[in-house]
Structure 1
Amino acid sequence: MTPIARSASNEDRPVVAAPAQAKRALPPLYDKIIGLPRRTKWALVLALDLSLVAVALVLAVVLRFDTADAADAIRAHTGVLVATCGLAAAVLHGLGIPQIRLHHTEARALASLALGATLLATIAAAAAQMLQAPAPLSLPLIFGTAFFTLAVGARLAILGTLFSIRRLSAGQTPVILYGAGTEGVQIAYALRSSGSLCPVAFVDDNRAFEGLRIAGLKVHGARMLPRLAARFGVKTVILALSSASDERRNWIAAEIRALGCEVQTLPSFAELIERGSVEQALRPVRPDDLLCRDKVDLDVPAVTRTYAGRTVMVTGAGGSIGSELCRQLVDCRPARIVLFEHSEFALYEIDAELRTMLVDGTGIEVRARLGSVTNESRVRQVIESEGVDFILHAAAYKHVPMVEDNELEGACNNVIGTRIVARAAVDAGVERFMLVSTDKAVRPTNVMGASKRLAEMVVQDLQRRNPRTTLAMVRFGNVLGSSGSVLPLFQKQIARGGPITVTHPEVTRYFMTIPEAARLVLLGGAFAAGGDVFVLDMGEPVRIMELARRMIELSGAKVQSDTDPDGIAIRVTGLRPGEKLYEELVIGDALTATPHEKILRAEEEHLSEIETQAMLRAVQAAIDAGDAIRLRTCIERYVSGYHIPATADAM
């Protein structure tokens, strides 16, 4: 990979004023031309092409015959000229050549022009034969070639003139395209049709492209990027490398940002259609684009087969994970999706969204049911009345500091709620039950993680005693973009100008995207044999300090330092109660493979039936008594790794 040569200092780079946010008014002449009625434009182009037919035929006669005899030759071919021009209008109109937009003069348009030139040459030859004009066989060939060249040249000249008028008068922002492949060419043509962005050059680290001129732009080596940015006053570089690995794009993006340029990425075709214009669709590199690993492909046919035609109930359906589960279930074509949620507004939102997705008449029923997982009679009534086949249990209190301060409610929802839903599933003969858990359940140091570990034990115990229902669980890392996660917090802090708060310089976390998390749950349901714990191979954990630095750079700002005191500061606040420096995915080392190479099955220790029942009685008694210390004492007894903090003893 060719490194990008950097300027010796920031002083070497010219200071370029930030582009205006509002699009300036287009110049009157350009505006008038663009605003002409479509039929008027077609008529003008047809008139241009007919005049070029006459010019090309005259030029062919002049080139074929001696200059001294040219005038006589032209008079001798007057009939051929009239006949060819007369039929040319029908040929050009029939091929749709006047209707080809100037902005879209590409391969198919050139093919149409070539076909038109061939037909016109044939017509000219036939007319000369019928009128007995002294036309040698080479004359139609010269005529066709001349017409094709003139037609293409005229279109390029008009297009170039219009672009020049607009660029000089409309204040377009210059951009460089990184990647001269198919995607780069497409975005170059699209940007030329935009009103505010103007591509000035390609850069590419593929030496095979270097020196070529593609889409009217010269391709330079990646090492030339600093010079090009200074020469054209470029402050934005667009990555047209969506097929490259995340690791390569991250490396290139970091190099570009080091030059002081903003990095934007090429959107998908769907985003272009949705957003309506190229300028709107181009987006800054998103945080999950810079997590140092490729997204895991979890699109497995077994998922669709498992859920197709079944009734699936999602608890916590209005949450970050629950709502994404519902969206992905739509693609699996279940017979019915039962949304179970205690928040009325969240339930309304996901219900309305799903009904909008299902307007095409897929036949999927959506049932919105208000209720809490701690209300046993309501849970049982919904499961039995809806005839539920699968339950995806995503309802939980998950924010570590919040549950640490509200441990009784956290345990009631996460432990007792899981027991209620899982037992109701077993009693109703539900086929499969999937618990959404967390990596914080592994040797937890906080109540939230410990409550999820106890919930896992409840599920494992029920599975041993009830083989008819398959019960399993999945463990997540930190989910990007979910409510309360670190990335939305960092985004808000950056928007306020900082500082970004990090609890410890060495803290690390595993990260996954919301779609990955939801797909993992669905795949776990498809792969589950009973009592399974599924985890996703998320690569190496990410240092939160490094993530904070990346997000600051991503925003176009700089990290505060001695040499740049105006940058955004990163403040270390100290570990919060119950927070760990690092997370683990499994308790032991016993991991086995599944049908998907990135999903692993863990074999872990569990409580006996007697111990599980004793634990549940102790948790319930602590909740009923409102005794937080009693609850923590119970957790310490049954959950490996948890110890009551000194601050809790003092309460």
Structure 2
Amino acid sequence: MAFWLRFNLDIPDEFVPLALVASPWCVLGYALGFLSVRVYRQVWSYIGLPELRQLATGIVLGGLLTAAGVLMLRTPNFPRSVLVLQPLIALVLMGAVRAGWRTLAELRLGVRHGKPVLILGSLHEASGALRALKGSTHWQAVGILSPQPGEVGRSLQTVRVLGTSADIGRVAKSMDVHALLMASPPGSQSRRQMLLQVADTGIALLTVPRPDEWLKADGVGPRRLELEDLLGRAPIQLDVAGLADLFSGQTVLVTGAGGSIGSELCRHIARFGAQRLVCVDLSEFAIYQLEQELREAHPQMHGSYYTANVREPERLRAIAIKHRPSVVFHAAAYKHVPLMEYLNEIEAVRTNVAGTLNTARVAGECGARRFVMISTDKAVNPTNVMGASKRLAELMVQGVATEYSQTQYVSVRFGNVLGSSGSVVPLFTRQILSGGPITVTHPDIVRYFMTIPEAAQLVLQAGLMGQSGQIFVLDMGEPVKIVDLAKMMIRLSGKTEHEIPISYTGLRPGEKLYEELLANDETSVATPHPKLRIAKTSSGSDLDIEAVLSWIENAGPEPDTVGLRDWLRSHVLEYKSVH
């Protein structure tokens, strides 16, 4: 064909023998070129730019080998322009046949299986969504709705921008589409706004799977939008090498291991190659579930599972001395504010303060390199017993840090965790399933939210970076109104506010309209990690630890609640009880 084009579609008779002599060299050259880059492994039905680049590389190699072989023949009057034309023709024809084959394959899949779906997002965001849809045989993009009016009328991969996000209802009705794929990134404000706009359209909301879901058999292709997709944020950047060095081949102890944060910490620690994971929790059922999960997921790891109470120092000490952990994560705590505010105040103090002291001292006694306590934003300017007990626990950790110089003691504060036990999300879910109403304490109440994996990953990172006595504050993003959270959950359930009403019940005892991550007289210092800051707080080095422990031990089974709050206030000066 190259000879034919070279001589204007009519090869002179004297050049026909030259073409016949050169053709075997061409076949040999291209065979070697394609073998070297493994073009023969390509599946034409899924051909894309990487495969076309691979093909082009093989053609370049084949063309060079062909040219070398023909020139070595020293054939007189051989038209060298043919050596340039033939790889170009090969690229066009071989690329075209592959593109044509894929087009036919996509048409077959689209006709048989593709359900129409609208993509919601800018052209840049929609580009990633369209790539994700290529792996799905169940969905076919029929249009794009962009929040940017200037993009209306343009097209991406032959899919037109049919309108703006305000046109969702009209476009969906006109095209008889019942599914909307949100292409905006997780946690973006645009996702939340779009969710409220599609309230009464009856459209199913989909999103592109998270990276970890592609590893699962059922994670390929779009899935239903979940609350974590609206409130989550960009993936956490972890110092993987540093964490692997901290945990790989080491023994790690986690208290409260059966809880939402504790169990997620255990999962991450196991992935980072801990040799032995010592899990401690008061709940038999929780520790049993964790044991079953980790034994199946990480059979190579040695796991030790204890039902033990952090309020019993001798039991903790026996466990720690037996295993000698190099890192200790303390996640055991009572954290439900209203429950700890009445009738259970002493339980909050005994578990959150004395339990923390016991665990911190045991970590120092057994020679652990690091101790990390999970704290809370409610420890900042606390107005409730739970928050005050956690702030006192932070002071206890700082005090113990002066006793054991070989152990790095760190506390980590963060806000509400989506789906954790005692959080508002499971409550709202139950209320929606029962037909409502959803109970919100106040229309203006706001909270910081973070997903369980986000919280656990940042705790690990803070534990790696921290210096002894430091308190880390996590970047919780923007606060979310609880009433907006309720509305989003109603939308995600496929209901409307007419079907599931929202009822306001008033603030509960000890509850604030907003939570703080830093006290008024505190400042914070940036760290190398963008989502972690160090709080500059008053130190617990002057705290009389033994006096605190003695008061708790002598408080009796049911101490006077007024006296207990006064005692807390004497140690946590920023505690402002509402009673």
Shift of 1:320: 1.2
Match of 2:209 in 1: 267
**Partner residue, 2:258:** 318
- In the alignment, does 2:335 pair up with 1:392? no
Q: Which amino acid aligns with 2:437?
A: P
For 1:88-115, what per-residue CA distance to the aligned partner results, in whole angstroms no more than 9, with x for missing partners?
A: 7996896677764342232354457666
- Going from structure 1 to structure 2, the CA distance change for 1:221 and 1:606 (only over 3 Å counts) comes to same
1:627 aligns with 2:558: yes
Choose from 554, 567, 571 the match for 1:637: 567
CA shift, 1:617, in A, is 3.3
Query: Which of 309, 316, 320 is residue 372 of structure 1 equivalent to?
Result: 309
- Give 1:270 deviation, angstroms: 4.1
Aligned to 2:118, the other structure's residue is in SS state strand
Q: Secondary structure at the match of 1:577?
A: coil
Cα 1:592–1:573 shift into 2, 3 Å: closer
Separation of aligned partners in 2, 1:376 and 1:358: 30
Map 1:223-234; keep pairs closer than 5 Å.
Answer: 226=168, 228-234=171-177
> Conserved in 1, the CA contact under 8 Å of 2:473 and 2:533?
yes
Aligned counterparts of 1:533 and 1:606: Cα–Cα separation in 2: 12
For the 8 Å contact 1:121–1:143, the answer to whether it is kept is no
Whether the 8 Å CA contact 2:438–2:503 is kept in 1: the answer is yes
After superposition, the Cα gap between the structure-2 partners of 1:465 and 1:492, relative to the gap in structure 1 and judged at 3 Å, is same
- Distance in structure 2 (CA, Å) of the matches to 1:334 and 1:192: 38
Per the alignment, residue 575 of structure 1 pairs with 507
Bigger CA drift: 377-386 or 526-535?
526-535
Q: Match for 1:235 among 163, 167, 178?
A: 178
The whole-number CA distance in structure 2 between the counterparts of 1:533 and 1:193 is 45
Distance verdict in 2 for CA 1:211–1:464, change over 3 Å: same
> Secondary structure of 2:198's match?
helix
Deviations 1:110-161 (A, max 9, x none): 45766669979999xx99xx9x9xx999999888877766665555555555
Separation of aligned partners in 2, 1:230 and 1:155: 37
Equivalent residue runs for 1:71-82 within 5 Å:
none
Quote how far apart the aligned CAs of 1:388 are.
3.0
Q: Does the C-alpha gap of structure 1 residues 441 and 527 become closer, same or farther in structure 2, counting only changes over 3 Å? A: same
Q: Compute the RMSD of aligned alpha carbons.
A: 4.8
Given that residues 88 and 120 in structure 1 are in contact (C-alpha distance below 8 angstroms), is that contact kept between their aligned partners in structure 2? Answer: no
Gaps of 5+ in 1: 1-55, 646-651
Aligned twin of 2:133 = 191
**Cα displacement (A) at 1:197:** 0.8
Alpha-carbon shift at residue 502 of structure 1 (Å): 1.0
Question: In structure 2, do the counterparts of structure 1 residues 142 and 469 end up closer, same or farther at CA, with 3 Å as the change threshold?
Answer: closer
CA distance in 2, matches of 1:411, 1:201: 58
Where does 1:100-499 land on structure 2 (aligned, <5 Å)? Answer: 100-110=42-52, 159-161=102-104, 163-164=106-107, 166-168=109-111, 170=113, 172-176=115-119, 178-181=121-124, 184-185=126-127, 187-188=129-130, 191-192=133-134, 194-202=136-144, 214-218=156-160, 222=164, 226=168, 228-242=171-185, 246-247=187-188, 249-250=190-191, 253-254=194-195, 257=198, 260=201, 261-276=203-218, 278-279=220-221, 282-291=222-231, 297=237, 299=239, 303=243, 306=246, 310-330=250-270, 333-334=273-274, 336-359=276-299, 365-403=302-340, 404-464=342-402, 469-499=407-437
Cα gap change, 1:233 to 1:155, in 2 (>3 Å): farther
Q: Which amino acid aligns with 2:491?
A: E
Q: CA deviation at 1:316?
A: 1.1
AA at the equivalent of 1:380: R
- Counterpart of 2:537, as a letter, is E
The question of whether the paired residues in 1 share the 8 Å contact of 2:182 and 2:191 is answered with no
Please identify the structure whose Cα radius of gyration is greater.
1
- Aligned counterpart, 1:538: 476
Counterpart-to-counterpart distance in 1, 2:258 and 2:217: 26
CA distance in 2, matches of 1:539, 1:277: 27
Provide the rounded CA distance (Å) in 2 between the counterparts of 1:352 and 1:292.
28
Q: 1:117 to 1:224 in 2, by over 3 A?
A: farther
Secondary structure in structure 2 of the residue aligned to 1:506: coil
Q: Tell whether the 8 Å contact from 1:175 to 1:238 is kept in structure 2 after alignment.
A: yes
Distance in 2, matches of 1:460 and 1:475, equals: 14
Give the AA of the match of 2:538.
E
Go from structure 1 to structure 2 and tell me whether the alpha carbon gap of 1:222 and 1:420 turns closer, same or farther (over 3 Å shift): same
Q: Aligned AA for 1:337?
A: L
Aligned residue identity for 1:391: V
Percent identity, please.
34
Aligned residue-pair number: 564
- 2:522 is aligned with what amino acid? A
CA distance 1:469–1:208, change in 2 (3 Å): same
- Give how far 1:436 is off: 2.0
Instruction: Summarize the Cα distance change of 1:59–1:465 in structure 2 as closer, same or farther, 3 Å threshold.
Output: closer
Contact 1:419–1:458 (Cα < 8 Å) also in 2: yes
Note the C-alpha offset of 1:254: 4.6
* TM-score, normalisation: structure 1: 0.70
Offset of residue 546 of structure 1: 1.8
Which runs of 5 or more structure 2 residues have no equivalent in the other structure? Answer: none
**Partner amino acid, structure 2, of 1:618:** W
